[in-house]
Structure 1
Amino acid sequence: MKAIVLRTYGSPDDLAITEIDKPVPGDDEVLVRVRATSVQPYDWHHMRGEPYIARLMPGSLGLRGPKIGILGADLAGQVEAVGKDVTGFGPGDEVFAQSNQGGFAEYACVRESDLAPKPGNLSFEQAAAVPMAANTALMGLCDQGRLQAGQRVLVNGASGGVGTFAVQIARALGAEVTAVCGARNVDLVKSLGATEVIDYTTEDFTRNGQRHDLLLDIAGGHSGSACRRALTRKGTYVAIGGPPGRWLQPAGHVFAAVASSPFVSQRMVMTDVVTCGQKRQNLLTLTRLIEDGEITPIIDRTYPFEEIPAAVRYQEEGHVVGKVVITVR
């Protein structure tokens, strides 16, 4: 089968299509014929092995080389075969998954606990745009953010992959949403359900006097202490991302904010979607919202499988609106 095999850290120019053997599913795994996948910051961080500090920490970045052999955290496709302990899926079923790796290939083995039936009203390309970004938004709002209907939520970085889902999910759960993005994306974010949209190039949301019960910080750009000015006294700050960097960022931004939590009245927490133990449950929750018409994936560009290096390069530029999707078939 064809796959993009990551043998060493590097740039998009180092990503090349390779012929390898089709994987064989383990006892609790499903072999999926991948029809579509997506590209996100998670992929290029692992491609480059950055930030360097993360190589010294427990996780999926190896010290001298990548631990992940095939990138692509999201995938959508059809079940080809199942392991002997799999009971919920059979050949031909249409599924989508957050597997954290394997999507940049024609076939991928996924644990049964990491996938769910594909939403019936989405194409494979649309479904592949959902898992990691939407799961991050859902966890940030509900698990870490403890969102309640009627609360005021601010989403900083509302036009990206996680942000476009966060605005829609927060609105669907009954929140009043303020979104922060660039001027060119104001109309889009309003259409997703934001009550108010702040253009970060002309207004600083940390200094406009508004207070929110929950702040999802996807874009970074302001320190955790500055973001506290935009929270109520008992509000919650959820760190999801931050400005990229070779050595420390965005990890430094996230950890610095969380480290302040014991010393302030607000809750300062982070979201870790990679180690999430309820991926299937969350995918089922997202499916209900999708099939009810509450959330829709926003796709910026779609690339064919052969142009994955170009797709990663575009994602790395940092101007993607919604998601970048790869058609594998």
Structure 2
Amino acid sequence: MISDIPGSTDLREFPYGIIEYEIDKTKLLGTGLWSDVYFAAPSLPKATSTTSPTEVPYNTESILTPPLTPVKHRNSLSRSSAAALPPIPCAYAIKVPTSRQAKAVFEAEARILSYLSSFPRAGDHIVPFFGLDTRNQAIIMGALPQTLETFVTTELASLSEEGRTEKLASIFPPLALYLIRGLEWLTEKGCVHADIKPGNILLSDTVRPIYADFSSAIFLYEQPTSQGPLGGGTWDFLCPSLLRSAASAAGRLTPSTKTDLYSLAIALLYVIIGGSPFDSAGSNAFRRREMAKSGNPLLWAFGGDEGWKSEKRIKELSKRVGWDVQQFLKMGLEKLEMRVEVGVWREELEGKTGGS
């Protein structure tokens, strides 16, 4: 079903009786702990039967190829269902499970996306969501040009230092403000993302960022049910309090808006310096984890053989924008008990940028 009631927790199911999709198996957009994400084009359904499709087996061919026989012919759906269908995008991003064990994770993510997408202007903050395909458990989303990670590692990395600083000076303030407002919006809706990082932030052609990949997300009023490695979150971007509590006999700390805020601050630091602040650990995974747990990302960012470059980049950006970027990031990188609320962080940035 597709609900247009704000705050509805009803699961949004992809209306394959109205519109279908053709997956391009040559275009892998991303991969994760439980899934692969592929590019797909919208297409008309191929209605040859009114019988329900059989369960899709979890092998590569069946996962990547959606069933060609919908439950209902497109003309048999009610007008109200058709009216509730979101605008059809030029392209879909199809998130497909890679094992049967992923079913519960996908359903939980689809329910959170269904809830968030029911609010007006949800597309200003999160990836467009078109529903869960109940035939194969695929999550159907709108495709965007690139992630924040690829923007940094390709477009920004191709520029000279001067050109890079000039580009950052023009896009960083609004980029940061959009993301902080998006985090505040998620908080207002009672949601914790729990895996904010550049690879989970999508960019439009105008470099406007939105959040994606809610596979680790939880509601503020719920306790996480997964006992996995912090929801599969990437260590470099996780709050040190979460990392330390994961190994503590006292029990695991629950992700919160303040832990999301830290992750966002690290993601913004990543944009400025061109990589993780813990890259100086090299291939030493143990050292990298200990650095991430230490809670001193700026110390590690400015250390090592390339630390001088990172420090210079943040200082040059501060000169161009006319305010201390490092001090602003520190507000989000403080210890958990000293960290500001997201609304305070947003107000601080609006004061520096004039609110635009």
TM-score by length of 2: 0.25
**Which structure has more RCO (C-alpha within 8 Å, separation ≥ 6)?**
1
Larger relative strand fraction: 1
The structure number with the bigger radius of gyration is 2
Larger relative helix fraction: 2
